[in-house]
Chains A and B, each alone.
Chain A
Amino acid sequence: MKAQKIAPALIIANVFALIIIGITKWISLYSRDAAGVFVFSDFVIVPVLMGMITAYYWRDFGLTGREYAKYSVWNALIAVACAYFFLDEGYICLIIVSPLLMGFVIAGAFLGKAMFRNNGNRMNVSIFSLLLLITIADSLTAAPYENEVSDTMIINAPPEKVWPYVVAYEPIREKENYWLFRAGMPSPVQSTAEAYREGAGRKCIFSNGYTFDEKMTVFKPAQDLTFDIVNQPRDPEIMGHIDILRGQFILKDNGDGTTTLTGNSWYRLYVMPSWYFDAWASSVTRNVHLRVMEHIKKLSEKNV
């Protein structure tokens, strides 16, 4: 009986979210900078509004705070399922977005609960309209966010010994330590190079067989390898969310038979809020760096 009372609000909230996200995506196509960006509002304001919608429908059911929280979690889980089936999102992305979504849906439900308890209908409509307006404005003004992640490692081998493995290396066979790799996110396995010269192609192959095609733009043996990503896999976990732009390895001779290896990556994020998603993007990038750099270190030190 309770489920019959609760369910319509969950369905309405999720249909509303799908429509609004569809509209913001459509609007963003008309903005040169924001084209295709999942705006801040999609993950912040829309979930808050979803929570408010459920609170509106549940306002006379006498639900306890615990029930509000529990059903809000369901609301968020349905949204995650909708994103999987209707927006073609990958499950790793959904793992990443779930805590954010649940937090905002619960916050929206409790804001709504307080609003509708006070029965200030005019104010409630104003707040709801204002949030919708912000969502639309946001989809017109958003722009992708770019960042760089840098990691450093000391290798007990001179740069000349390290350099060949920086350009290309045999498959990594070590077990993954990073929990997202263990959860199924593809991890780097191997790099191959067409030739050892500037302008040559390079491939970075991941555990699921996906390949990033790269072009070496700077090739200074034992010093600097910089490459642009010219083609990245069309994977739902990546497409429309992040573009890896460039990678770089800098080798510094420490003068004592060791090398400081620095790995840099530049990427562009298409999912907002950047303060949340960039924390994940930099964590993943860092762990890709570390897995590759640990492997280079192992190979280089073996031959000293």
Chain B
Amino acid sequence: MFDFIIKYFSFLKHIPLLPHIFDALIRLQTLLFNKKVLEHIDVIERTVLTWEKTSAGMHQYGGLQFNVNNREIGHIHSNGLVDVLLKKEIKEQLLKEGRVEDHHIFKRSGWVSLHIRSEQDKQLALELLEYSYLLKR
């Protein structure tokens, strides 16, 4: 469902508030059917905010965004989809290892995507966010 909407209706993301409403509906769905994912997101949020000079806010297209020195480290959509900006060579390596997916929209960039479904996914998301944090700190 999420992928379908992103693929065919992503042009609507520029309408003010609409992506946030979409994310809120996804959050409702996750709360009802997969609340463990929300717990993982909470742990990630708590952990990232312990790192020096980090802050959290709303991502412009919905979700929770982490910043360091006002530069984005990455963001998490409410279905547990984490997007992190890495160096391209690191991205290639991680893609080869099958640990991450190409970003759901920006294919030719350093962005990678990862679905948090388990404890291991959460750990990997934290590792990637920390890597991006160290790059931008």
Interface pair A66/B42, CB less than 8 Å apart: yes
Interface pair B38/A111, CB less than 8 Å apart: no
Interface pair A110/B35, CB less than 8 Å apart: no
Instruction: State the CA gap A69–B21 with chains docked (Å).
Output: 13
With both chains docked as a complex, state the minimum distance between the C-beta of A103 and any C-beta of chain B, in angstroms. Answer: 4
Residues of B within 8 A of A117 (CB): 55-57
Instruction: State the CA gap A66–B31 with chains docked (Å).
Output: 7
Interface pair A107/B24, CB less than 8 Å apart: yes
- Interface membership of chain B positions 123-136, coded 1 if the CB is closer than 8 angstroms to chain A and 0 otherwise: 00000000000000
Interface pair A106/B24, CB less than 8 Å apart: yes
Minimum CB distance partner of A48 in chain B: B17
Residues of A within 8 A of B101 (CB): none
Interface pair A107/B17, CB less than 8 Å apart: yes
Instruction: State the CA gap A106–B41 with chains docked (Å).
Output: 16
* 6 pairs of A and B residues whose beta carbons are closest in the complex: A107-B24, A106-B24, A66-B38, A64-B42, A114-B58, A103-B25
With both chains docked as a complex, state the minimum distance between the C-beta of A133 and any C-beta of chain B, in angstroms. Answer: 15
The SS class assigned to the B binding surface is: helix
Q: Count B interface residues, CB 8 Å.
A: 22
The count of A-to-B residue pairs whose CB atoms sit within 8 angstroms is 60
- Interface membership of chain A positions 100-111, coded 1 if the CB is closer than 8 angstroms to chain B and 0 otherwise: 001110110011
Residues of A within 8 A of B57 (CB): 114, 117-118
The answer, yes or no, to whether A46 is at the interface (CB within 8 Å) is no
Residues of B at the A interface (CB closer than 8 Å) are: 17, 20-21, 23-25, 27-28, 30-31, 35, 38-39, 41-42, 45-46, 55-58, 64
With both chains docked as a complex, state the minimum distance between the C-beta of B47 and any C-beta of chain A, in angstroms. Answer: 13
Instruction: State the CA gap A64–B45 with chains docked (Å).
Output: 9
Instruction: State the CA gap A107–B28 with chains docked (Å).
Output: 10
Interface pair A103/B41, CB less than 8 Å apart: no
- Interface membership of chain A positions 23-37, coded 1 if the CB is closer than 8 angstroms to chain B and 0 otherwise: 000000000000000
Residues of B within 8 A of A110 (CB): 20, 23-24, 27, 58
Residues of A within 8 A of B17 (CB): 48, 107
Of A70, A104, A107, A118, which contacts B31 at CB under 8 A?
A: A70
